[in-house]
C-alpha cells in the first residue's frame, strides 16, 4: 500500500512531512500470531475430550471394536473395575485385624481372574449395548443438557457424567490425556448395572 504524506505544522520543528499512520502488515506483528496460535491450542485442548467422547459414542453405536480399543487404557480400566466389583462383593470394610473369610477371599480372586481374562472390547460393546435401552430415540439437546455434565479434573484429567434413567445414579467416565489423546481410565457404573 502506498503511504500518504501530508504537510503538517509541528510547533517545535517547523514545517515537516508526516506520514499518516497506516496499519502495519501482519508479518510485522509476530506476537499476534503467537497469541492466536496459543488461543487455538487452548481451544483445541478444551474441545478434545468432547471429540473423544463423540468418537467413543460412534464406536459404541456402530460396534467398532478397533476405534473403541484406541480410546481405552486397559490396565487402568481393569484395575478400577476390579476394585469396584470386589468392594461391591465384600461390602463395608472389615476391621484392620480381621482376616477375610474364605468365601470372600475366593470370590475376590475369582472376580479378579474373570476381569483379567474376559475384559475385551467385545465384552465392553456387549455391556454398553445392554445398558442402552433398545429402540430409544436419540436424545434432544434439551434432554442431553439436563442429563450430561462434564468437567476437567486437573490438567490431564476429565470426567463426564450421564444419567441414563431418571432417579438413577449417573454413569461416570473418567478420562486421562496420555500419548496425545484422551483415554478412558475408569468407569463408575450405577448400582445394579
Residue 149 falls inside a structural domain = yes
Residues 100, 94: contact at Cβ < 8 Å?
Answer: yes
β strands within 4-111, DSSP E: 5-10, 14-19
Residue 24 or residue 147, greater confidence: 147
Residue 39 falls inside a structural domain = no
Owning domain of residue 179: 52-91+101-127+143-193
Q: Is the pTM value of this prediction over 0.85?
A: no
**Per-residue pLDDT band at 2 (split at 50, 70, 90):** very low
Spell out a b/e string for 15-27, using b for 16 or more CB atoms within 10 Å of the CB, else e: eeeeeeeeeeeee
40: Cβ contacts below 8 Å, ≥ 6 apart: none
Residue 45 falls inside a structural domain = no
pLDDT tens digits along 56-96: 988 888 888 899 889 999 889 888 888 887 777 766 655 55
Residue 26 falls inside a structural domain = no
**Per-residue pLDDT band at 54 (split at 50, 70, 90):** very high
**Per-residue pLDDT band at 99 (split at 50, 70, 90):** low
Q: Is the dihedral of CA 46, 49, 52, 56 positive or negative?
A: negative
Residue 151 falls inside a structural domain = yes
pLDDT tens digits along 152-176: 999 999 999 988 777 778 889 999 9
Closest CA to 160 of 39, 69, 48, 40: 48
Residue 112: CB atoms within 10 A of its CB come to 17
CATH of the domain at 66: 3.10.450
Indicate the number of domains in the chain: 1
Residue 116 falls inside a structural domain = yes
Assign 3-class secondary structure to 109-143.
HHHHHHHHHHCCHHHHHHHHHHHCCCCCCCCCHHH
Amino acid at each position: 500500500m502506498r503511504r500518504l504524506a501530508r504537510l503538517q505544522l509541528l510547533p517545535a520543528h517547523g514545517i515537516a512531512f508526516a506520514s499518516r499512520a497506516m496499519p502495519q502488515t501482519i508479518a510485522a506483528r509476530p506476537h499476534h500470531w503467537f497469541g492466536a496460535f496459543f488461543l487455538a491450542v487452548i481451544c483445541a485442548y478444551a474441545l478434545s475430550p468432547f471429540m473423544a467422547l463423540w468418537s467413543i459414542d460412534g464406536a459404541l453405536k456402530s460396534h467398532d471394536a478397533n476405534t473403541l480399543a484406541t480410546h481405552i487404557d486397559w490396565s487402568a480400566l481393569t484395575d478400577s473395575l476390579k476394585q469396584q466389583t470386589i468392594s461391591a462383593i465384600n461390602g463395608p470394610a472389615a476391621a484392620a485385624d480381621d482376616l477375610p473369610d474364605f468365601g470372600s477371599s475366593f470370590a475376590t480372586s475369582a472376580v479378579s481372574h474373570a476381569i483379567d481374562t474376559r475384559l475385551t472390547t467385545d465384552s465392553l460393546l456387549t455391556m454398553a449395548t445392554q445398558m442402552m435401552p433398545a429402540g430409544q430415540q436419540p436424545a434432544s439437546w434439551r434432554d442431553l443438557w439436563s442429563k450430561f455434565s462434564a468437567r476437567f479434573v486437573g490438567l490431564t484429567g476429565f470426567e463426564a457424567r450421564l444419567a441414563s434413567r431418571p432417579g438413577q445414579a449417573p454413569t461416570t467416565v473418567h478420562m486421562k490425556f496420555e500419548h496425545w489423546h484422551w483415554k478412558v481410565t475408569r468407569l463408575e457404573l450405577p448400582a445394579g448395572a
